[in-house]
Amino acid sequence: MFEYFYHQKIRKAVAMFGTMFNNVHVVRTDANGGTLSQVRVPLAYAPREKYLARIQADPDLRENTRVALKLPRLAFEITSISYDPNRKIPKLNRFSVQKKGQADRDLRGSLYSPVPYIISFQLNAFTKTQDDALQIVEQIIPYFAPQYTLTIKPFAEYPTIKEDVPITIQGVNFQDDFEGSLEQRRTIIYSMDFTMNINFYGPIREASLINRATGNLETGDSAGISNIIQKVIVTPNPADASPDETFGFAVSTLENFAPDLTELGQYFKKGYVNTNYVEDKTVK
């Protein structure tokens, strides 16, 4: 039943989400408003508890080789993956797409409708001061009202497939570990929860284009025996036309028999043969 395929959709979703927040800065100023320093906030994929443990680690190199992390810092992680019934579409819908590259112009990929899911992310901002935390938060939340949509190409080999990926902010929570002993390091944490609408695709099956069709025109005698009166080949006109171009069809006769024009006309009426491109010299 199952077969191997891997489109890296979750991996790409993580990379896409993290890329949105890799250019956040914190500026520190003096009493006169002059800039003392500007820091680009590091970003990593890591659980919140792991960073809390590192932040609270003993920074004394003589006692412990573990060094506390430098703040501010951003970290994010996936918190859940759930099915989205609101975006469900008929699963047997099938569509084809052209493969990238001139050498693959005769190949088409075929795939069924994707399955909609929701990936939940949590973005955590760790800082030492409240001002650093507020700078980070205010550089992020204005872009979500409450949704921000990205357009992506999920398959590099099929560039014609595009997706709109909405990312919605669900809320902002904060935690200030100000209380405690004087030896305890203060940590301010702002947690922002997001949901991303993502689609998961099944395997893509490739097949060559059909650019040549052969049909037999037959007649039956009184005994019910069919006789081939003509063999017809239908090809695109021009022959090198791509599926996305406007083209007609050229019809040529492989064997030149004397046909019954009355019966042959029924084929024309039914659309089996395009009369605008008939090249059979027998039928005039």
Give the tens place of pLDDT for each residue, 151-204.
998 888 888 888 999 999 999 998 876 655 555 556 789 999 999 999 999 888
pLDDT at residue 212, rounded to an integer: 76
Q: What is the mean pLDDT of residues 206-214?
A: 75
- Highest mean pLDDT range out of 29-33, 92-96, 133-137, 263-267? 133-137
Domain boundaries for CATH 3.30.2000.40 within the chain: 9-82+116-196
Give the tens place of pLDDT for each residue, 230-249.
778 788 777 677 666 777 67
The token pair at 123 is 């973005």
Topology given in CATH for the domain delimited by 9-82+116-196:
STM4215-like (3.30.2000)
Q: Which residue has the higher pLDDT, 214 or 59?
A: 214
Whether the pLDDT of residue 211 is over 70: the answer is yes
Q: Where are the beta strands (DSSP E) in the chain?
A: 25-29, 35-40, 43-45, 73-83, 94-98, 107-112, 115-127, 147-152, 163-176, 188-200, 205-208, 213-220, 226-237, 248-256
- Provide CB contacts within 8 A for 204, sequence distance 6+: 5, 109, 110, 111, 155, 158
Give the tens place of pLDDT for each residue, 41-54.
999 888 777 766 66
| pTM exceeds 0.95 for this model | no
